[in-house]
Amino acid sequence: MFSKLKQCTRSVLLAASLAVTGSSLAELPQPQYEDYTWEKEIFVPMRDGTQLSTDVLLPKGAKGKLPTVLVRTPYHKDNTHWAYFGDWDKLFLQQGYAVVIQSERGRQFSEGYFEDYLEGAAHDGYDTLEWISEQPWSNGKVGTFGCSSSGEQQWAMANTKHPAHAAMLPLASGTAIGDIPGNDTQGAIYRGGIPQMGLWAWWYNDMATSERLLLPPDTTQAQRVRLRNSFTLQPMTRFYQMNGRSIDTSAKTEQHDELVKTLPSMNVIRSGGGALTPFDKYITWTPGDKRWDGINQARVGHSQKTPALHLNTWHDVGAGEMSRMFKYLQDQKTPDQYLILGSGPHCDLLEESHLANLEFGDLNLGDARYMGRDNGYAELFLNWFDGKLKGKKDKLKKMPKVQLHVMNQGWITGDQWPLENTQFTKYYLNSSGKAGYRLADGALTTQKPSQVSGKDNYIYDPSYPVPTRGGGCCSSAMAVDQRDIEARADVLTYTTPVLEKGVTVAGPIEVVLYVSSDAKDTDFNVKLVDVYPDGKAINLSDDGFRVRYREGFDKKVLMNEGEVYEIKLTNMVTANYFKAGHRIRLQVTSSNFPSYERNLNTGGNNYDESEWVVAENAVHHGEQYPSHVVLPLIEKLNLASNKQ
């Protein structure tokens, strides 16, 4: 039935798996199959007649009906790096799984149009599960797999409750999480009402345009295979993520710098001459816009029952959303849900070969392998699918529901999020008014400040914003030394004394600030930072808040000059061991550009403005205005063993 487009010997398969799963396969079962067949460009019909480009890979020589691993992706299926599944398909094929890889509606050779984020994820996902179930090689059980967009697809699909959807592995999929309780980011589009411009202008322009080239109608499968071997329909790269420091000094990076500075911000993509994208309309919406309800994100009422491993890494842009989705489902008593948060950048846990000595940006964490062993994630994934899709003994039945890799410390476990023994502790901001002058006297202390009131002022000029250093998505340099940022007069820093003993912080973080401005509206941005004995300052998490939304994201309430307002920033999450000799620091400023859109301070729409106002902003503290950060401290650690 299937043309033998690709065969691999056992040695090649093992080498491919080694590149992904570590230095040893000792903990993995021996391969059952040595090679496989790969049929490309099958057109699978959806309920509205749209046909989606689909590949089917089968282990050569397999008898009987097989369980299936399904990957749906907006990216080129032959570019496994951007498709975020790498060579994991080979590992599943070795163990007797069929693998189906499908291009989403409106992407690559699939028909239809990509008019909105997660276009067709629910009904197309359901129809694809139905198609797989009807194939002669299928045992009727499907596990969905993938990172980033291939993970995000799975949430809408799970909400359709197709009986074949037996298990899911939605890695780094937080941007699919909408308005569930405690989450107000519309899938990480916003932080405190501030558009995440750097990420989404890049992603939509370079990955997911609405306008696109189309195949001729009525192409044959053979024609599509030939065309795919010769062409890609991926848009040209125009934007370069600037999460950390710039490494590429080429003309393309300079072009990126100019593009993201474009005003009004609604024209950022248009200024580069790119095709139309959904971002062009999203940048003009507000976080409370009812049109978000029509996007295929997980929302209130989402009642999926598919067993899921919620997997992410701390420096990923959607780590907070992922943890909140887990909590939402756990509060609903949804069975078979597990939260696993490791260390590293976006989708980094798929690159197991370098987790034994994990280094990204300016942070070196040493051993960050899952439970400290080679092939940890590979073993986990196989055990998960074997139990749910093959009916084998459930080796994960007694696994803790929550597993966290604490940076600089190791794995800890529990059965709920936040962990049961978390001590939420307030650290108060304090200074003599000089927290913005080269780290002069901004303090973080668990003792309430004794003075009635105090404040730190700084000038925020939208034409000279604080540049992004670390965080965001999807650079490998997401943990970056902050010292050049902290030397600016418009960045306030509040720091604990040198720690006499280590402190473990693991969980969600809330920042409460009392702020004022002489502008009608402005932003406040924060970062949690680990300060090393030599002064190196590594960002752990960041957040922001647009003050107009202090009374709700469905309304705009402007500021009165000099009046003090309380704002709450609730999106940060991390797990880090602050070693003895280190210090804990909170940065406060009013921009983090281009990761966060600049506020022009006028009180207008912002997205359609080209003129700005320079603002004098202030953070207040003391008994009257107790600005503080709430850190989740873990004193009694439940350290994990290296056995599941």
Q: Are residues 496 and 621 in the same domain?
A: yes
Q: Are residues 446 and 340 in the same domain?
A: no
CA 437, distance to chain mean position in Å, is: 33
Nearest partner of 572 among 634, 633, 513, 507, judged by Cα: 507
The reply to whether 624 falls in a domain is: yes
Q: Which residues of the chain have pLDDT under 50?
A: 1-26, 242-252, 642-644
Tell me the HSE value of 111 on the side-chain side, using a 13 A CA sphere.
15
Rounded Cα–Cα distance for residues 141 and 165 (Å): 6
Span 539-575, pLDDT tens digits: 999 999 999 999 999 999 999 999 999 999 999 999 9
The reply to whether 569 falls in a domain is: yes
Q: Are residues 579 and 467 in the same domain?
A: yes
Q: Are residues 358 and 400 in the same domain?
A: yes
Split into its structural domains, the chain has a count of 2
Residue with tokens 């392998």: 369
Rounded Cα–Cα distance for residues 116 and 453 (Å): 48
Nearest partner of 629 among 457, 441, 427, judged by Cα: 427
The reply to whether 307 falls in a domain is: yes
Among candidate residues 355, 386, 414, the one where a domain is terminated: 414
Cis peptide before 67 (omega within 30 of 0): no
pLDDT of residue 472: 83
pLDDT of residue 256: 63
Q: Are residues 344 and 429 in the same domain?
A: no
Among candidate residues 396, 414, 432, the one where a domain is terminated: 414
Dihedral sign for Cα atoms in the order 276, 86, 255, 214: negative
Structural domain for 467, as ranges: 422-634
For residues 490 and 460, the answer to whether their CB atoms sit within 8 Å is: yes
Rounded Cα–Cα distance for residues 149 and 373 (Å): 28
**What's the chain's Rg over C-alpha atoms?**
25
| Stated pTM of the model | 0.92
Q: What Å distances lie between residue 502 and 258, 505, 577, CA to CA?
A: 43, 10, 7
**Beta strand spans in 234-357 (E):** 308-313, 337-342
Q: Are residues 376 and 431 in the same domain?
A: no
Q: Are residues 474 and 524 in the same domain?
A: yes
pLDDT of residue 351: 85
Q: What Å distances lie between residue 209 and 202, 235, 236, 260, 338, CA to CA?
A: 11, 8, 11, 18, 34
The reply to whether 139 falls in a domain is: yes
For residues 114 and 38, the answer to whether their CB atoms sit within 8 Å is: no
Among candidate residues 392, 414, 436, the one where a domain is terminated: 414
Q: What Å distances lie between residue 480 and 152, 358, 542, 588, CA to CA?
A: 27, 14, 12, 17
The reply to whether 264 falls in a domain is: no
Active site residues: 148, 316, 346
Residue 123 belongs to a domain with what CATH number? 3.40.50.1820
The reply to whether 407 falls in a domain is: yes
Provide the 10 A C-beta neighbour count for residue 268.
27
Rounded Cα–Cα distance for residues 243 and 539 (Å): 12
pLDDT of residue 4: 32
For residues 43 and 109, the answer to whether their CB atoms sit within 8 Å is: no
DSSP bridge partners of 72: 102
Residue 479 belongs to a domain with what CATH number? 2.60.120.260
Span 477-505, pLDDT tens digits: 899 999 999 999 999 999 999 999 999 99
Q: Is 161 left (phi over 0), alpha (psi -120 to 50) or beta?
A: left
